[in-house]
Structure 1
Amino acid sequence: MAVTPVSIGRRGEPSVRLHAADNVVVAARALAAGTTVDGVTLRRDVPAGHKIAVAEIPVGEPVRKYNQIIGFASAAIVPGDHVHTHNVAFQAFERDYAVGADVTPVEYVPEAERATFQGIVRADGKVATRNYLGILTSVNCSATAAKMIADQFRRPGLLDDYPNVDGVVALTHGTGCGMADDGEGIAVLRRTLAGYAEHPNFAGFLMLGLGCEVNQIRGVSQGWRLDPSRPVETMTIQEQGGTVATVRAAVEALKAMLPKANEVTRQTVPASELVLGLNCGGSDAYSGITANPALGAAVDLLVRHGGTAVLGETPEVYGAEHLLTRRAVSPEIAEKLVDQIHWWEAYTAKNNGSMDNNPSPGNKAGGLTTILEKSLGAVAKGGTTNLTGVYGYAEKVTAKGFTFMDTPGYDPVSVTGIIAGGATVMCFTTGRGSVLGTKPTPSIKLATNTEMYERMSGDMDVNCGVILTDGESVEAVGERLFQFILDTASGRKTFSEELGFGQEEFVPWQLGAVM
């Protein structure tokens, strides 16, 4: 979906109309009863980001925003009404998937003119944006020991002689035992661990287990495609003789990896080597107006320069998936996406839930009424180019261009899968103010509104709220963001990196029975 708002960019306007056919507009700031917007008078106070009716909407009739259905009137709505959960209900409806209808040729930038960044080229040709040593765990039982090991490398002076190493990070999780030794649950966990083991942002790693778990290290590591020159160690706490002995041995093993890990230099590589992850969290109604479309504009630029982008959060494209199937380059790709949507419908129903359970209380406070509305804003992160691939959770992303991965809407689980798929930079849009970080991949925070950006200026990297407050165009902010992405890939630290986020946000999707 390309957001082409009618009134956006008019600095000082009290409301934003996103399409001429819409029967609601969005409050650009908190508005008092009696204020006139878009030719109607407000019947009550309306919070910033919330919707105002500009036409009559009888009971049962659709509420339209972005010229798309975001819900149905559960009570009669008249012009000037505040439109939200008190008078709008979620309802499933048929979408026209029109597979491939919007596929268009991509105007690629000639290779000689493509943007570049300063990346780290590994021996196997993969390009990294960061240079970490990692500690991966096979089971929750080795998590505390793994964190103890990583903590040793935070002591002053220990990494001073290795300026090219970004740090030592322990990525732990809460599963690996009490589960079946085959089937979907363990397959997803092992695929996720494999994605991190093979990730170019790790110069080397230690795989740590307890010893008696279901998820044995020999099973985890089967099929890994590792660069033979990458240093890798495995050990279990039981074989080492306990926690103290394990920490001592692991620290020595990682210290031995440091000299080789430090032997890297950044060099100029084309933007086509970049894999950009796309996620949002703590969204508000401005997400689909400012930050998400701006990120979509940056994605369009990255695709034109030969790069790859990965959109996730399947529950947050629900109701907007038809906008993606129209861009699918083949029926098989569209069918895979639709199958994922159907799986989620069955999954939520089985657990006595609804796809409309997704908007959080914070989302609703920010003006998002239904999952349909949230999804229409969320898909804007994917820009306008063709959909070239659809992947399962943590599957390796191999297609160039704009792609999709099946992930939950829960942010840590979603970004974990996307990074396992190969993302070397993450862009994370937020309206309420999420502070998520993601190691070993840097996470860029995009604020949807200027008020939150200024309030949380130590967490937010880019203010996309200027699209509303300063009248900047989506395209101009997208171009600036594209350069920021390249700078980050070249080594510029994000606020989440400066603050040390990323170790606790590794959360593989836990599926299957816990026994």
Structure 2
Amino acid sequence: MADEQISAQLVVLDASDNVAVARTNIAAGTPLTCGGADFAALDPVPAGHKISVRPIKRGEAVKKYGQIIGQATSDTRPGEHVHSHNLAIVDVHADYAACSQIPDPPAPITDRTFEGYVRANGKVGTRNYLAVISTVNCSASVAKFIAQRFPPEELAKYPNIDGVIAFKHEAGCAMQYQGDAHHTLNRLMAGIARHPNVGGFLLVGLGCETGAMGYLLQEQNLVQIEGVGGPDRPGPLVLSMQDMGGTLKTVEAGIAQVSQMLPQVNDVRRQTVSASHLCVGLECGGSDGNSGVTANPALGIASDRIVACGGTAILSETSEVYGAEHLLTRRAVSPQVADKLVERIEWWKHYVSLFGAQLDNNPSPGNKAGGLTTIAEKSLGAVAKAGSTALVDVYQYAEPVEAKGLVFMDTPGYDPASVTGMVAGGANVVCFTTGRGSCFGCKPTPSIKIATNTPMYDRMLPDMDINAGSVLEGESITSAGERIFEEILAVASGKPTKSEQQNIGDEEFVPWLVGPTL
């Protein structure tokens, strides 16, 4: 977005747009100028909401970002508020044009580094946690009780350990053995166990569940989680409540096991490493009309920098790229990659139809209050987080991400479940843009919160790390993106995020498991 597209009251994102975004609250009668035309606001328009800048006939396409976000349901005059009362989604029949706009690789950035924890398998962590992983809800309390025994004051003598976390959830049984949910849960737990931000782990299960504990015990192979263990990663250690003799005995045994592991987990030091080891999850939640104007495109600039460094940026939330997926398929490096994304979109259409829902049921009430009207509008803004580089691969939920460059992971739009998948896939930093004010942490991975507007940033300063609302006050998108990139490097090196300062992130492990509960 060029700076000259911002006026005192309005932001126009593309010359072909017939709506603009209100920078601030606009009162009815306020004189406005756009594209050389003078008119007055005919309605009060809240900040972040859309206002017509030229006549729009009923049935005509409404354009924002140079893309169609819906069609007018009534004739609209310049100066009218454009929202749910006069704008509706249209059937999305995008021209995917796979691989038609593959961008050239960005100029390499070879001199940027951060201070990380180098693991035996070559992965690099930005934090160093010890994980107590519950394999089934039946052992969730035990995992929690074990972790609670190691509060910060108890860990003070282990300065290189960020904490002991209990990864607990509501699943692990009553699912088809070797079915989709079973495999997904195993991927999730394996992803946490081998995560570069986890220096050691303990598995705790009941003993008879369908999930990983039952799988491990039935197969009599305690190393089903591939790639864990090693000289700097104690494990795998597995406790079965039924074998141990119940809750109290398992808690006691778990505390003893963790106590033995702590010195070894602590025996690491940060080292200077290339920024190519960054794997950054891109998330937006509590979005508003400014998300696609400020924070998301600024994060896109930072994403491009990560890719230029040789790192990985993970875009996600399949239900929130619907209506904008053609922008990604055109950047796909091969027809196979484009087809993988389209297949996920089609799967989602089928999946939601089973429940009588539609993908365009989004945006949420909070999104609409913030100025977003249709799923296409929300998705076009969300995709801006992906920057401008080529799409190199598409991954299933919680699948290990091995590719370098921009990738996509199939996740729901629900933020905790989406971030859980990216973290399990290997994200060692998360960047989370928000316009309404989402307060989110996601241990073991630090979460950088990026505000889309200054009033919310000021109001929620204890939760927000970066203010991208400055773009509406004259800062360039490039400058804001560079600030985000620098913050990523600082956080990767150990700078605590606002959510970490408040110890947020123990409750946000939310697996997305598709399938019946049996």
Scaled by the length of structure 2, the TM-score of the pair is 0.96
Shift of 1:105: 2.0
Deviation at 1:511, TM superposition (A): 0.9
Aligned to 1:513: 516
Aligned counterpart, 2:132: 135
Q: d(CA) in 2 for partners of 1:172 and 1:358?
A: 29
2:451–2:469 CA contact under 8 A, matched in 1: yes
AA aligned to 2:226 is: W
Match of 2:85 in 1: 86
Residue equivalent to 2:483: 480
1:224 aligned partner: 226
Q: Distance in 2 between matches of 1:110 and 1:473?
A: 21
Question: What's the counterpart of residue 220 of structure 2?
Answer: none
How far apart are 1:215 and its partner, in Å?
1.3
- AA aligned opposite 2:333: V
Aligned partner of 1:174 among 170, 177, 182:
170
- In 2: Cα distance, 1:125 partner to 1:139 partner: 30
1:181-220, aligned counterparts within 5 Å?
Answer: 181-217=177-213, 219=215
Question: Which residue, 119, 122, 132 being the options, matches 1:122?
Answer: 119
What's 1:408 paired with?
A: 412
**Residue pair 2:109, 2:305 contacting (<8 A) in 1 also:** no
Q: Report the AA paired with residue 284 of structure 2.
A: C
Partners of 2:280 and 2:212 lie apart in 1 by 32
Match of residue 76 from structure 1: 75
Cα deviation for residue 506 of structure 1 reads 0.3
Shift of 1:6: 5.1
Is this contact kept in 2: 1:438–1:506, CA < 8 A?
yes
3-state SS of paired residue (2:5) = coil
Distance change >3 Å, CA 110–CA 381, structure 1 → 2: closer
Distance 1:22 1:5 in 2: 16
Contact 1:5 1:19 in 2 (8 A): no
The aligned residue for residue 64 of structure 2 is 65
- Please state how far the C-alpha of 1:182 moved relative to its aligned partner: 2.2
Which of 416-425 and 346-355 deviates more?
346-355
Which residue in 2 is equivalent to 1:19?
Answer: 14
Q: CA deviation at 1:480?
A: 1.3
Partner of 1:346: 350
- CA shift, 1:81, in A, is 1.1
* Letter in structure 2 aligned against 1:406: D
1:313 to 2:317 alignment: yes
Map of 2:27 onto structure 1 = 32
Aligned to 2:5: 7
Q: Which residue of 1 aligns with 2:219?
A: none
- How far apart in 1 are the matches of 2:4 and 2:41? 20
Q: For each residue in 1:353-398, what CA deviation from the matched residue of structure 2 results, as whole angstroms up to 9, or x when unmatched?
A: 1111121111000000011000000000000011111111011111
**CA distance in 2 between partners of 1:62 and 1:5 (Å):** 26
Among 387, 393, 403, the residue aligned to 1:389: 393
CA distance, structure 2, for counterparts of residue 4 and residue 331 of structure 1 = 32
Output the CA distance in 2 between the equivalents of 1:349 and 1:172.
Answer: 30
Q: Give the CA deviation at 1:128.
A: 0.6
The alignment status of 1:368 with 2:372, answered yes or no, reads yes
Matched, 1:489 2:512: no
Of 436, 439, 442, the residue aligned with 1:435 is 439
The equivalent of 2:142 in structure 1 is 145
Gap change, CA 1:482 and 1:340, over 3 Å in 2: same
Alignment root-mean-square deviation, CA: 1.3
Work out the number of aligned pairs and report it: 506
Any idea what SS the aligned residue of 2:398 has? coil
Does structure 2 conserve the Cα–Cα contact (< 8 Å) formed by 1:139 and 1:209?
yes
Look up the match of 1:453. Answer: 457
TM-score for both structures, normalised by structure 1 = 0.96
Q: How far is 1:21 from its partner?
A: 0.7
Asked if the contact 2:11/2:20 (under 8 Å) is kept, the reply is yes
Comparing 86-95 and 336-345, the one that deviates more: 86-95
Identity of counterpart residues, as a percentage?
55
Indicate whether 1:303 and 2:299 are aligned. Answer: no
Q: Distance in 2 between matches of 1:249 and 1:223?
A: 22
Alignment-derived partner of residue 507 in structure 2: 504
Counterpart residue identity of residue 492, structure 2: A
Kept in 2, the 8 Å contact 1:210–1:237? The answer is: yes
CA distance in structure 2 between the aligned counterparts of 1:393 and 1:77, rounded to whole angstroms: 42
Q: 1:335 aligned to 336, 339, 350, which one? A: 339
Runs of 5+ in structure 1 lacking a partner?
Answer: none
Alignment of 1:411-430 (within 5 A): 411-430=415-434
Which residue identity lines up with residue 169 of structure 2 in the other structure?
Answer: H
